[in-house]
Structure 1
């Protein structure tokens, strides 16, 4: 695999998500559910507006493609899209709760585990092949996560739920490749809104009056939701889930650096060792790209 538009799309998405704590931390006084409600509802409204105003011809063309599919392919698309919407809602809520009510490092830990889970699931579910060095990098990641989780089994279990939800999202969307990715994302946001709508009257707090809340929510919706999700879905058209999963490590690495140098969270020797191993594993997993080495089948 060469460094191409798919690779750059995936890397850009995870770099953007790495800075998500910057607009989210100032909202820590607001309930996590309220942030989730407004994030999903605003994203859905904006995506629908874009599709109706600027992409109507693309929507019509994709509707024609859907009607031409067999019943089996229609069910496959609908199932994968609906599942994707559910997984996004679950992942977002748990991540925001961990970030605002536990610690930035605890939220980052979930995305340290996630690439490993994604890689392993892709191997068993999608039959994606890995080289010896790629498996070696997975082992290094497992060691780094074991070091970080030592003495915090509860945090590990909590992080696993976040990690598995996003790993399953990546796996499912890798197979959901029949339609325009922007439209797929729009449908998933509609599904997420439908899932959350019945809970809004019961669990939402007082309507925020502060302008900073809505300013930050617009930033979160546009810069940290629509753009990186689209880049991520686009990357899955030309990359396997394992490679996308390993690139995900840029997200917690940035979170970790922000936690230490910006939010002044405590750094331990275990953190230093673990993140050093992760950096090494990223280099090893992508050694063909970084060192421009061809596989035997390419020679």
Structure 2
């Protein structure tokens, strides 16, 4: 795995960790409204950046860009709903199963090859995630469905990013997320939720939510466009560790010995996966 990809994914997971914490803190607002706010801020930042670089906002691979937008906003809504209704670490655990779906979709859609031993290390990461939150309160069937739905649809969105790597600038790919997401979220607010006007302090947090989202999306997009999807996405598991400690430090979610053991398993899986990527003599699937 490329060093630049590793750095970009670390930046992305840290920024997403801040976003998740802000969503948890702003839980009095509906998930549709939070998605709308996030998209509006990201849309404005993207427009400013694209205009400054004199890049066309519409892109080239429009069908895939639009698909990425719809898949991204649907996964985001599901993810925000999880974060609002269950403990942060558990929610992120389910959301960050997306690397599995990303790798599976990439194998069949993008014809990318993943070494057999890498699949094993990927499963080690997944096992570590479940160990991490083994002591958590039992999840309802509905929340489990929501989590698997969010992670699988996110896997589709990430592969759309990969498809656009040779046709569109990373900022254009990022731009289509809020371009599709803002109107979709607005319609859903109108149909299903009551609008709540933010306080002055909450407006500051909402702007921060959009700003950190932009940082996370740009870093993630560049990482995906610069390496194999499975290689880049495995580093998203760092986000589970971030969420675990944020939940403990800010939201009084306890840490047990079993959870700490899960953290070590995840780190072991990530290190082994990244190291094995550099080996050329491994058997290919």
TM-score between the two structures when normalised by the length of structure 2: 0.86
The match for 1:37 is 36
Find the aligned partners of 2:176 and 2:130 in 1 and give their Cα distance. Answer: 38
Q: RMSD of aligned C-alpha atoms?
A: 2.6
- Label 1:139 to 1:101 Cα distance change in 2 as closer, same or farther (>3 A): closer
Structure 2 equivalent of residue 20 of structure 1? 19
Q: Deviations over 1:149-182 (max 9, x none)?
A: 7964624333211111211111121111201111
CA distance in 2, matches of 1:116, 1:275: 18
Contact 1:18 1:253 in 2 (8 A): no
The question of whether the paired residues in 2 share the 8 Å contact of 1:112 and 1:145 is answered with no
* Residues 125 and 269 in structure 2, CA contact (< 8 A), matched pair in contact too: yes
Q: Mark the CA change 1:87 to 1:294 in structure 2 (over 3 Å): closer, same or farther.
A: same
- Structural mapping, 1:57-206, within 5 Å: 57-59=54-56, 66=60, 77-145=61-129, 147=131, 148=133, 152=139, 154=141, 155-177=143-165, 178-206=167-195
Deviations 1:45-70 (A, max 9, x none): 33224433x13x2228x86xx4xxxx
Contact 1:19–1:254 (CA under 8 A) maintained in structure 2: no
2 CA distance for matches of 1:22 and 1:42?
A: 17
Matched residues in 1 for 2:129 and 2:198: separation? Answer: 41
Find runs of 4+ consecutive structure 1 residues off by over 6 angstroms. Answer: none
Gaps of 5+ in 2: none
CA 1:131–1:199: 2 relative to 1, 3 Å = closer
- Structure 1 SS opposite 2:114: coil
Helix, strand or coil at the partner of 2:226: coil
Match of 1:74 in 2: none
In structure 2, C-alpha distance between the alignment counterparts of 1:277 and 1:112, rounded to whole Å:
15
Are residues 140 and 30 of structure 1, via their aligned partners in 2, closer, same or farther at CA, if it must alter by over 3 Å? same
Structure whose CA Rg is larger: 1
Q: Contact 1:32–1:96 at 8 Å: present in 2 too? A: yes
Is 1:285 matched up with 2:273?
A: yes
More divergent stretch after superposition (121-130 vs 95-104): 121-130
Q: Which one of 211, 214, 217 corresponds to residue 226 of structure 1?
A: 214
Aligned to 2:3: 3
Contact kept, 8 Å, 1:104 with 1:256, in 2: the verdict is yes
Distance in structure 2 (CA, Å) of the matches to 1:18 and 1:111: 12
Instruction: Output one character per residue of 1:212-265: Cα deviation in whole Å (capped at 9) or x when no partner.
Output: 121011101012x11111111111221111011101001111101111233221
CA distance in 2, matches of 1:220, 1:85: 18
Q: CA deviation at 1:23?
A: 2.4
